[in-house]
Structure 1
Amino acid sequence: MPMKEERYFDLSVLVGNWESVNLHPTVIIYRNGNTYLLSLIHMNETSKQASPATYEIQEDENGYFISYNLKRLSIGYDVRLDMLKLSSLGDYMRN
C-alpha cells in the first residue's frame, strides 16, 4: 500500500529532531516566532565538526518546501508512520 503523504498539515507536528533512514544529514525543525525553520546538520567526517545550514519553511499551492542548493526541496509528512519526507533526501524518522 503506498504511503499516504499529507500535502498540508500543521507544521508544529514536525518540530523536533529527525534522523535520515538513508544516512543523509540530520534535520532539526523548530519554530521562531511565526516562522518554522529547518536546519540540516552536516557532519565533517575529518574534523567531526557539525555545521548547520538553516532554511525557512515556505508554503505555496503545492505544499511546504525549502529552497535548498538553488532547488525546491518539498516537505511531506506521513501521519500514520510519523515520518518526514524530503523530496531529494528521502525519509526521516523522529529521533
Structure 2
Amino acid sequence: MKRTKEDYPTFNLFSIVGIWESVNLNPTVIIYRNDKDYLLSIIYVSETTKQASPATYVIQKDGSQYFIANVSKRLYIDYNPAKDVLSISSLGDYLRN
C-alpha cells in the first residue's frame, strides 16, 4: 500500500515538548521524552487535599494522528504551530507555559 501525505503527522513530537496549561481550567499537561518514547503526564490536583497526582501515558501514533490511551478511550493530540496551541480531545486547548 502506497503511503500518502495524510499518513504522516503534521508536526513532530519534539515540537510539543514542555509544560502546557489549559485554557479551560483542565489539569496541566507535561510532555517529555525518555530514552525512546514521548510521554504525556496529566497533573491532577485534589480539591480537598490539594495533593498533586500525575498520570503518565506513552504517546502513540495511528496513521497521521498522535494519541494516548486513557483507560478505555483514546485522547487524540493535535498541535497548531502557527498559534502554538496544543489540543487534546475531550480536554480542550492548551497554551505553552
Do both proteins adopt the same fold according to a TM-score greater than 0.5, normalized to the shorter chain? yes
Q: Is the 8 A contact 1:84 1:93 kept in 2?
A: yes
- Does the alignment pair 1:48 with 2:50? yes
CA contact (8 A) 1:20 1:92 kept: yes
**Partner of 1:85 in structure 2?**
87
- For the 8 Å contact 1:8–1:64, the answer to whether it is kept is no
Amino acid at match of 1:79: P
Partner Cα distance (1:62, 1:88) in 2: 19
Q: Deviations over 1:49-78 (max 9, x none)?
A: 000000000001141000113111000000
Deviation readout 1:6-63 (Å, 9 max, x if unpaired)? x431101111100000011100000001200000000001111000000000001141
Gaps in structure 2 of 5+ consecutive residues: 1-8
Misfit runs of 4+, over 4 Å: none
Partner of 1:39: 41
Look at both structures and tell me which one has the larger radius of gyration over its CA atoms. 2
CA RMSD of aligned residues (A): 1.3
Match of 1:21 among 16, 20, 23: 23
TM-score, L = length of structure 1: 0.90
Cα distance between partner residues in 1 of 2:73 and 2:25: 20
Percent identical residues: 61
Q: TM-score, normalised by structure 2?
A: 0.88
Give the secondary structure class of the aligned counterpart of 2:83: coil
